[in-house]
């Protein structure tokens, strides 16, 4: 939520800031703004409501702003409607200090009240402006920017990543972070801060990750980092190996479609290094077999699509481990006085590694003594760094707001971890273990087969895109997969949709089925295929139009009853959702396309939810 970038260097800042914001626009797209300092003009601020393109047009792609020091912001509104005034950067009353912020200042009203009493005038409705004004207030007293920033940080409560510039400091950009991501980038012609590494990849791969409570001073040739007491901190630098082209559309109309197509390769990259000589090898984790045997509780925590991966994994792990596995929404878990302790293993799933609720839930679990293992896509992200163990999904940068390849890589990685734990516990027989691993390695190939059915799915979308409410029904793994299919559809096509466990239909939901209602019936879970068929017959009897998803083996049977059928190749039962989810992603994509929706940037959403 909200993307921030800052640059202090030896070349014009504005075009670099705009380029970085364009690569981070998926973090928020209500409005955008930049502030650039120049020797002659002081601080120049430009903001525009709506998409970043408006700001680029307003500034002639940055050419209008002179100066080599600047900050930029793309906003996902929390406090105050999206308009030019509430857009960042926010500027202090005397125009000397400009600031961009990602996060929420929880005590802003109290601070605002006290500043108002001192005669400070505010222009926006945001919590962020309060910080700019408070900073000016302290700066007037001390005349030292770094001291003033530190005082402000001691006074405010909430989450933040800040980029701050001041007209008195020709080269220095100040950054601070708590509970919102911020990366330092060491470039040739200048140094950077950014919420996401994708924003600066074009300029540098040499980065360091700021930790909570740290403050940094960035100049064209130096980056100095301090702790909250202003003692110097030595940062470890790392090289990012993401391919720059992975964050570009590469000829595709939408990132989402490109990312759907990249799934076979992403899965290959995620599993290949972890399967050696027919065994799952998880070098990156430090859990011993003894530890695994004494685990009394396994709990998966996540949000959104990552939670849906958790749902699939619950079914799969319980089958493989013969142990109860719970899956909890992170936002609920964190406030539920959770029953976890030092015999609990908590699995944290997050593509971004920055989702605030997931991070807070993980911290709560750790506070209670649980061991945490995170499944994360973004290297160096907060969840990855704070968990006891981390396993990365190697999906590469995911730019579309609706996740596809990150979801798929999480799914296979969770299957691998499940197998690994089952092996440690001795709860799986050798034959099944081998069979699952063999089938897993065939997934990329089989997924390519599924991707060839694009035109069929496109045709069904052209038939059904006018429906205003769609039901996904399924049992067991199909139910879990339906939850993801339904979320994908609603987030990008804005069609109301719900996923139900088929067995629940007759306990209420079936009253909503009337002639013409579209039901997406999922029948890929072989052990319960006959039951899935019965449910199709049930809704057909009430006049529903049924689009069914099944496997090749059941295609013929399904075609006799459903109005339309999509079939995917078979694989081992526990892996079937990895193939089944792909047509559902494509279906959402084409439904949204037919409806003229902004597929990569759906309304009201942003990737990486770093606010509560
Ligand atoms: C849906 C989607 C979201 C995320 C959720 C968690 O397409 O992308 O539901 O899955 O916001 O995000 P991460 O995985 O980054 O914690």
Question: Does the Cβ of 404 fall within 6 Å of ligand 1?
Answer: no
Task: Specify the pTM.
Answer: 0.91
Question: Does the Cβ of 148 fall within 6 Å of ligand 1?
Answer: no
| pLDDT band per the 50, 70, 90 thresholds, residue 287 | confident
User: What's 191-204 look like in SS3?
Assistant: EEEECCHHHCCCCC
With a cut of 80, say whether residue 58 has pLDDT above it: yes
With H, G, I as helix, E, B as strand and everything else as coil, classify residue 526: helix
Structure tokens at 34: 């930049």
With a cut of 90, say whether residue 560 has pLDDT above it: yes
357 CA from centroid of ligand 1 (Å): 11
Q: What is the mean pLDDT of residues 416-434?
A: 97
With a cut of 80, say whether residue 486 has pLDDT above it: yes
Rounded to a whole number of angstroms, the CA Rg of the chain reads 25
pLDDT digits (tens, 9 = 90+) for 88-105: 999 999 999 999 999 999
Structure tokens at 371: 């061991």
Structure tokens at 246: 């992975």
With a cut of 90, say whether residue 391 has pLDDT above it: yes
With H, G, I as helix, E, B as strand and everything else as coil, classify residue 80: coil
pLDDT for residue 78? 81
How far apart (Å, rounded) are the C-alpha atoms in residues 169 and 211? 24
| pLDDT band per the 50, 70, 90 thresholds, residue 610 | confident
How far apart (Å, rounded) are the C-alpha atoms in residues 264 and 445? 7
Q: What is the mean pLDDT of residues 208-230?
A: 96
Let me know: does 587 contact 489? Beta carbons within 8 Å: yes
How far apart (Å, rounded) are the C-alpha atoms in residues 528 and 475? 7
DSSP letter (8 states) at residue 84: T
Return the best residue to mutate from 300, 351, 358, 360 for the ligand 1 pocket (most ligand atoms within 8 A of CB). Answer: 351
pLDDT digits (tens, 9 = 90+) for 242-284: 877 777 888 899 999 999 999 999 999 999 999 999 999 998 8
Task: Tell me whether the omega of the peptide bond preceding residue 219 falls within 30 degrees of 0, making it cis.
Answer: no
Structure tokens at 52: 């970043």
Structure tokens at 250: 């590469």
425 CA from centroid of ligand 1 (Å): 31
406 CA from centroid of ligand 1 (Å): 9
Catalytic-labelled residue, pool 2, 166, 299, 303: 2
| pLDDT band per the 50, 70, 90 thresholds, residue 76 | confident
Handedness of CA 600, 604, 605, 611 (dihedral sign): positive
pLDDT for residue 323? 94
Q: What is the mean pLDDT of residues 131-138?
A: 97
How far apart (Å, rounded) are the C-alpha atoms in residues 558 and 372? 43
pLDDT digits (tens, 9 = 90+) for 342-354: 999 999 999 999 9
Classify residue 376 as left (phi > 0), alpha (psi -120 to 50) or beta.
beta
How far apart (Å, rounded) are the C-alpha atoms in residues 103 and 280? 39
In Å, how far are 492, 495, 584 from 596, measured between CA atoms?
10, 12, 18
Strands, sheet with 564-568, edge to edge from the N-terminal-most edge strand: 496-501, 469-474, 518-523, 545-551, 564-568
Query: Which segments within 50-194 are labelled E, that is strand?
Result: 69-75, 90-91, 97-105, 158-166, 173-178, 183-186, 190-194
Question: Does the Cβ of 352 fall within 6 Å of ligand 1?
Answer: yes
Structure tokens at 424: 């440690």
Q: Please choose, from the candidates 157, 151, 167, 4, the residue with its C-alpha nearest in 3D space to the C-alpha of residue 72.
A: 4
DSSP letter (8 states) at residue 212: T
With H, G, I as helix, E, B as strand and everything else as coil, classify residue 316: helix
- Give residue for tokens 């930029």: 72
pLDDT for residue 26? 83
133 CA from centroid of ligand 1 (Å): 34
Q: What is the mean pLDDT of residues 44-50?
A: 95
Q: What is the mean pLDDT of residues 512-537?
A: 97
With a cut of 90, say whether residue 316 has pLDDT above it: yes
Average pLDDT in the chain: 95
Query: What is the residue-wise DSSP string for 344-394?
Result: EEEEEEESSS--HHHHHHHHHHHHTT-EEEEEESSTT-HHHHHSSEEEE--
With H, G, I as helix, E, B as strand and everything else as coil, classify residue 600: coil
pLDDT for residue 77? 81
Query: Which segments within 386-461 are labelled E, that is strand?
Result: 389-392
Our answer to whether residue 2 is catalytic in this structure is: yes
Residue nearest to atom 3 of ligand 1 (CA): 304
């Amino acid at each position: 939520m909200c993307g921030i970038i800052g640059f202090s260097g030896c070349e014009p800042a504005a075009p670099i800031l705009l380029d970085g914001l364009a690569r981070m626009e998926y973090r928020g797209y209500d409005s955008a703004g930049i502030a650039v300092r120049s020797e002659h003009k002081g601080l120049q601020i430009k903001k525009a409501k709506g998409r970043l393109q408006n700001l680029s047009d307003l500034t002639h792609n940055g050419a209008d702003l002179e100066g080599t020091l600047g900050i930029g912001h793309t906003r996902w509104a929390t406090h105050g409607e999206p308009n030019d005034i509430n857009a960042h950067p926010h500027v202090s009353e005397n125009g000397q200090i400009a600031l961009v912020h990602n996060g929420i200042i929880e005590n802003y009203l109290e601070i605002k009240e006290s500043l108002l009493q001192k005669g400070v005038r505010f222009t926006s409705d945001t919590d962020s402006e309060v910080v700019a004004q408070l900073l000016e207030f302290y700066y007037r007293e001390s005349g030292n920017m770094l001291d003033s920033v530190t005082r402000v940080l001691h006074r405010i409560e909430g989450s933040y990543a800040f980029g701050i510039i001041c007209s008195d400091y020709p080269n220095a950009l100040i950054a601070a972070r708590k509970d919102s991501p911020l990366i330092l980038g060491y470039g040739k012609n200048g140094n950077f801060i950014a919420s996401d590494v994708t924003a600066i990849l074009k300029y540098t791969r040499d980065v360091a990750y700021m930790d909570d409570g740290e403050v940094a001073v960035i100049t064209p040739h130096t980056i100095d980092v301090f702790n909250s007491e202003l003692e110097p901190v030595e940062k470890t630098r790392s090289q990012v190996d993401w391919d720059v082209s992975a964050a570009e559309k590469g000829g595709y109309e939408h990132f989402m479609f490109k990312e759907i197509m990249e799934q076979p390769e992403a899965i290959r990259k995620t599993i290949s290094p972890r399967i050696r000589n027919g065994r799952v090898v998880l070098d990156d984790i430090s859990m011993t077999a003894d530890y695994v045997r004494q685990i009394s509780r396994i709990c998966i925590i996540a949000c959104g699509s990552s939670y849906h991966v958790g749902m699939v994994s619950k079914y799969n792990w319980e089958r493989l481990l013969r142990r109860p596995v719970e899956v909890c929404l992170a936002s609920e878990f964190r406030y539920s006085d959770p029953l976890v302790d030092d015999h609990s293993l908590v699995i944290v799933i997050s593509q971004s590694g920055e989702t605030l609720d997931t991070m807070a839930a993980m911290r709560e679990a750790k506070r209670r003594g649980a061991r945490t293992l995170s499944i994360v896509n973004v290297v160096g992200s907060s969840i990855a760094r704070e968990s006891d163990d981390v396993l990365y999904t190697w999906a590469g940068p995911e730019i579309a707001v609706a996740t596809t390849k990150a979801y798929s890589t999480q799914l296979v990685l969770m299957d691998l971890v499940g197998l690994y734990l089952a092996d440690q516990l001795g709860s799986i027989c050798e034959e099944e273990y081998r069979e699952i691993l063999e089938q897993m390695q065939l997934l990329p190939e089989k997924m390519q087969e599924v991707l060839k059915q694009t035109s069929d799915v496109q045709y069904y979308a052209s038939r059904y895109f006018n429906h205003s409410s769609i039901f996904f029904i399924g049992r067991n793994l199909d139910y879990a997969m339906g939850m993801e299919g339904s979320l994908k559809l609603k987030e990008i096509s804005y069609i109301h949709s719900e996923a139900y466990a088929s067995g629940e239909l007759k306990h209420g939901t079936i009253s909503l089925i009337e002639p013409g209602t579209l039901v997406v019936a999922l029948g890929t879970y072989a052990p319960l295929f006959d039951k899935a068929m019965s449910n199709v017959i049930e809704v057909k009897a009430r006049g529903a139009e049924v689009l069914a998803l099944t496997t090749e083996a059941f295609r013929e049977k399904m075609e006799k009853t459903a109005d339309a059928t999509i079939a995917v190749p078979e694989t081992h039962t526990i892996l079937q959702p990895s193939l089944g989810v792909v047509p559902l992603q494509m279906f959402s994509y084409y439904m949204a396309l037919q409806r003229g929706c902004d597929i990569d940037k759906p309304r009201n959403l942003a990737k990486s939810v770093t606010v509560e």
